[in-house]
A and B are shown apart, each in its own frame.
Chain A
Amino acid sequence: MIRITVDAEPLEGRDGQTIAGVLIGAGRTAWRSAQTGDRGVFCGIGVCHDCLVTVNGVEGVRACQREAVDGDRVEREVRA
Chain B
Amino acid sequence: MTGAAAAGAGARRVAILGGGPAGLAAAQAALAAGAEVTLLDEGGRLGGQYWRHHEQLTDRRLQHGWARFERLKGVLDRAEVHTGASVWSAEASDGVVRLRAVVGPADATSRTALEIEADAVVVATGAHDLALPVPGWTLPGVTTAGAAQALAKRDGVTVGRRTVVSGAGPFLLPVAQSLAIAGSEVVGVHEASRIGGLAAGWLPRPWQLAGKAGELVEYVGALARHRIPYRIGSGVVRVLGTDRVEGVVIAALDADWRPVPGSEREVACDSVALGHGFTPRLEVAIALGAAIEGDRRGRFVVVDDTQRTSVSGVYAAGEITGIGGADAALAEGAVAGFMAAGGSLDDDRMRGPLAVRRRMGAFAARLERAHGIRPGWTSWLADDTVICRCENVTRRTIADRADAPLRAMKLATRAGLGACQGRTCGRAVEAIVAEAGGSPEGFDRRPVLAPVRLGEVAALGRGSTVVDTEPARCDDAGTTVAAVDVQ
Contact = CB atoms under 8 A, between A and B. Distances in A.
Contact of B141 (A29, A46, A62, A64): A29
B151 A43 contact: no
Given A14-B156, A15-B56, A47 B424 contact: yes
Residue of B49, B106, B386 with highest tally of chain A CB at under 10 A? B106
A47 B140 contact: no
B444 to A, nearest CB: 14
Nearest to B279: A47
Interface string A9-29: 000001111101100110001
A14 B151 CA distance: 13
Residue of B42, B55, B129 with highest tally of chain A CB at under 10 A? B129
B150 A65 contact: no
A12 B451 CA distance: 28
B166 interface: no
Given A48-B423, A52-B419, A80-B392, A38 B147 contact: no
B189 to A, nearest CB: 18
B146 interface: yes
A43 B107 contact: no
Grouping DSSP codes into helix (H, G, I), strand (E, B) and loop, the B interface class, with mixed when no group exceeds half, is loop
A43 B146 contact: yes
A34 interface: yes
Given A44-B143, A48-B420, A29 B160 contact: yes
B361 interface: no
B109 interface: yes
Contacts of B54: 16-17
B44 A61 contact: no
Contacts of B157: 17, 21, 24-25
Interface residues of A, number: 38
B216 interface: no
Interface string A42-78: 1111111110100000101110111100000000000
Contacts, number: 134
Given A37-B138, A49-B390, A43 B144 contact: yes
A64 B158 CA distance: 13
Contact of A42 (B106, B147, B154, B391): B147
A17 B54 CA distance: 8
B106 A66 contact: yes
A46 B109 CA distance: 17
Given A58-B108, A62-B107, A65-B106, A42 B55 contact: no
B139 interface: yes
B244 interface: yes
Contacts of A20: 151, 155
A43 B138 contact: no
Contact of A37 (B139, B151, B159, B424): B139
Nearest to A59: B107
A39 B146 contact: no
Given A16-B54, A66-B105, A45 B139 contact: no
A4 interface: no
Contacts of B143: 41-44
B243 interface: yes
A47 B151 CA distance: 14
A67 B420 contact: no
B483 interface: no
B140 A40 contact: yes
B104 to A, nearest CB: 11
Nearest to A49: B419
Contact of B151 (A44, A46, A65): A44
A41 B106 contact: no
A48 to B, nearest CB: 5
A65 B418 CA distance: 19
Residue of A45, A50, A80 with highest tally of chain B CB at under 10 A? A45
Nearest to B129: A43
Contacts of B159: 24, 29, 40-41
A42 B107 contact: no
A65 B109 CA distance: 14
B107 A50 contact: no
B155 A30 contact: no
Contacts of A16: 54-57
Contact of A49 (B56, B386, B418): B418
Interface string B127-150: 011010000001111111011111
Contacts of B82: none
Given A37-B138, A44-B149, A61-B107, 5 more contacts: A24-B159, A47-B420, A48-B424, A52-B419, A62-B106
27 contacts: A16-B54, A18-B154, A20-B151, A21-B155, A24-B159, A29-B140, A36-B392, A37-B138, A37-B243, A38-B243, A40-B159, A41-B143, A41-B159, A42-B424, A43-B424, A45-B49, A46-B42, A46-B106, A47-B420, A47-B423, A49-B418, A50-B389, A61-B106, A61-B107, A62-B107, A65-B107, A66-B108
Interface of B: 42, 44, 49, 54-57, 105-109, 128-129, 131, 138-144, 146-151, 154-160, 243-244, 271, 281, 386, 389-392, 418-420, 423-424, 451
- For the complex of A and B, the 7 pairs showing the least CB-CB separation, nearest first, are A44-B147, A21-B155, A30-B140, A65-B106, A49-B419, A44-B150, A29-B140
